Structure 1
Amino acid sequence: MSVVVVTYNSEATVGETLSSVADQTYPTDRYEVIVVDGGSDDGTESIVAEFDATFHVVDGGTIGACRNHGVDVATGDYVAFTDSDCAVPTTWLRSHVDRIEGQHDDSIVGVGGPNRPFPDDPWFGKLVGSLQGTVFGSGGSPQSHDIDEVRTVRSVAACNVVYDATVFDSYRYDDAINVGEDAEFHFRLSEDGYRFVFDPAITVSHHLSADFGAYCRKSRSYGYAMARIQRRHRKLIRWYSALPSVALGCGTLAAAVDLTSRKARYVPLLFASFLLVSAYATAQVYRERRSPTALLVPLMLAAQYTCYGIGFLEGVATRDPAPQELP
């Protein structure tokens, strides 16, 4: 078993990650820990040196390139990934291995699970985690949206996944992709008929956006990345990815029509639809958190959809680089 941790300027969190990886019920002599750094200029390397892990630098490398380097130096029959702002439970490796070895389906190439905020994270990060646990806050992606049963899915989050290493004989991450590299990689796998098992019991803790600004920036970067990936493949990877941009366009058109006609017809309808969606998400978040902070959900959804939609449009409009041949 090889555990790969991709990092960049993570001196504040990578120690927590590696400490959790070292504290496993899985036999220590049966797994190695590989840290791949994208060229940090902080104290990340000195923190990693305190642990039984090999340290590799891909200076200026994207997340995709760093993941591929980890695969290149891995020696295990399975390759596990988590990120340097995560912490895994003590049963993480054992649970993944038991689950993947229990499969008797050649189409299954890996196992993944959800990621949730740390118990001691700021209240805003916890609120983000609760919102992502709703279908409207996650877009239905299994790595975030609450799913309470083991099921087969097309994609999982790369911060909580174990692959059968043989998959990398024919497939690799895209070196050119820095955000959404897991979605793109898993899309290619799914197009060829491969699937993952999602186990909701195998949960990792993940530091989510700690404030509103970071939340908006991340939403925008996700939108941009998804548009770039879909332009690259000339195909919808996730059917709902364009909806925020379409909603922005429809809202702008509705406002223009209402202003021109001097009658409030379409904007109130769109606003009422958004209120229904946000009310449903707010109720779900409140049921989980039992906190008045759930009342911020409509604002957060509006910001998420707007920033994601703007990022998606930017990604559509940005000129493509030269195509890269991928296995």
Structure 2
Amino acid sequence: MTEARSGDAPDPLVSVVVVTYNSASTVGETLSSLAEQTYPDDRYEVLVVDGGSSDDTERVVAGYDASFHVVDGGTIGACRNRGIDTADGRYVAFTDSDCAVPATWLRSLVDRIVGADDHIAGIGGPNRPFPDDPAFAKLVGSLQGTVFGSGGSPQSHAIDRVREVRSVACCNVIYDAALLEEYRFDGDINVGEDAELHFRLSEAGYRFLFDPVIAVSHHLSADFAAFTKKARSYGYSMARIQRRHGKLIRWYSPIPSAALGGGTVAALADLRSRRARYVPVLALAYLLVSGYATAQVYRDRRSPLALLTPVLLAAQYVCYGVGFLEGLTAVDPVPQDLP
């Protein structure tokens, strides 16, 4: 898929695609970080693809060396495809408009992908909260760095070595442009479009290289309402995607819904028998799980806010589980974000 360049060959051209929607408050931060890359200025282009913003996103983008493209009402998948269609680069990198990348980001990604084995579809790394983000967002980042907070998903910075994985987060990834001519994002998908594409790639035998050093800063949920809404949205979308393929894309995706159903059955059984037999056992199991996650979060954050981990974990499971059930029973054939 890729070839190592000789010492005298120029760096390959890279197209960086930034998908955005109503992100006037953050997209400038993203584009500023892309303007400060150590990669040669004439060897990369920045393409901003907008889903039809109603705020000042276009005005902010106009202040930077980036081309602006609109897919009015487009999903994230459709916007990513427009970026691919517009790209001139040998490689196509993606980050999001609520992220900031380090100055060495492109250099690191390109050095990894040039000469990579043919079965490597791309290179990615973790996304972490901004240093000046609210304490709640940092707590969410630490929670998602635990096996119970993310199912061991590789965007977690808890993975501390370079390894092959089946999927990476699309806010921090580079692909070979030739591969994207054959494999495209599903234009109907607005959440989880990267997971769906990467599932198809993994089914075809491709893998990604995850490098924990190549990290980007990402504005995570700043409050409880945003956190629960996102969890429900992810559950909904994952169910719709898995219905579409008829396969389990994420091994852990049905677990929250199954836990909700099991807990309800256990509570009803205890009520019927008027004996507390099942619920205490389930409660003890959850205390063990959440206690382990709390210890991990505290080691990472060193803050008493880690004591909120059991509450956040329960809220995430419940909202994801509800969203997953909604996605399984939804009539519409298209996975969409929730209002």
TM class by shorter-chain length?
over 0.9
1:49, distance to aligned residue in structure 2 (A): 0.2
CA contact (8 A) 1:114 1:160 kept: yes
**Alignment equivalent of 1:194, drawn from 190, 206, 227:** 206
The answer (yes or no) to whether the contact 2:128–2:157 under 8 Å persists in 1 is no
Which residue of the partner structure matches residue 147 of structure 2?
A: 135
Question: Are the counterparts in 1 of residues 188 and 334 from structure 2 also a CA contact under 8 Å?
Answer: no
1:139 Cα deviation after fit: 1.1
**C-alpha offsets along residues 19-42 of structure 1, whole Å, 9 cap, x if unaligned?**
001100000100000000000000
Could you tell me which residue of structure 2 aligns to residue 17 of structure 1? 30
Q: Does 1:182 align with 2:194?
A: yes
Is 1:110 aligned to 2:122, yes or no?
yes
Q: How does 1:1-327 map to 2 (within 5 A)?
A: 1-103=14-116, 105-144=117-156, 146-321=158-333
- 1:85-108: CA deviation from partner (whole Å, max 9, x where unpaired): 0000000000000011142x1111
TM-score of the aligned structures, taking structure 2 as reference length: 0.94
Partners of 2:173 and 2:192 in 1: CA distance:
15
Which digits, 9 at most, give the CA deviation of each residue in 1:146-169, with x for residues without a partner? 100000000000000000111112
Contact 1:138-1:145 at 8 Å conserved across structures: no
Shift of 1:321: 2.0
Give the letter aligned to residue 207 of structure 1. Answer: H
Kept after mapping to 1: 8 A contact 2:92/2:174: yes
Kindly, what percent of the aligned residue pairs are identical?
75
Aligned match of 2:10? none
What value does the CA root-mean-square deviation take over the aligned residues?
1.0
- What amino acid is the match of 1:8? Y
* Runs of 5+ consecutive residues of structure 2 not aligned to the other structure: 1-13
Contact 2:23 2:98 survives alignment (8 Å): yes
Amino acid corresponding to residue 49 of structure 1 in structure 2: A
Deviations 1:258-289 (A, max 9, x none): 00000000000001000000000000111111
Q: In the comparison of the two structures, how many residue pairs are matched?
A: 322
- Residues 227 and 316 in structure 1, CA contact (< 8 A), matched pair in contact too: yes
TM-score by length of 1: 0.97
1:41, 1:76 → 2: CA distance? 30
Unaligned runs of 5+ residues in structure 1 are none
For the residue of structure 1 that corresponds to 2:47, the secondary structure is strand
Answer whether contact 1:100 1:111 (CA < 8 A) is retained: yes
Tell me the distance in 2 between the aligned counterparts of 1:242 and 1:158. 23
* Alpha-carbon distance in 1 for matches of 2:143, 2:21: 27
Secondary structure of the 1:183 match is helix
Q: How far apart, in 1, do the equivalents of 2:100 and 2:157 lie?
A: 19
Distance in 1, matches of 2:177 and 2:334, equals 29
Cα distance in 2 between the residues matched to 1:21 and 1:271: 47
What is the CA–CA distance in structure 2 between the aligned matches of 1:316 and 1:75, rounded to whole Å? 39
CA distance in 2, matches of 1:82, 1:181: 14
1:183-233 CA distances to partner (integer Å, 9 max, x unpaired)? Answer: 000000000001110000000000000000100000000000000000000
Aligned partner of 1:234: which letter? G
Distance 1:202 1:145 in 2: 10
Q: Quote the residue 2:5 is aligned against.
A: none
Look up the match of 2:7.
none
Q: Give the AA of the match of 1:42.
A: D
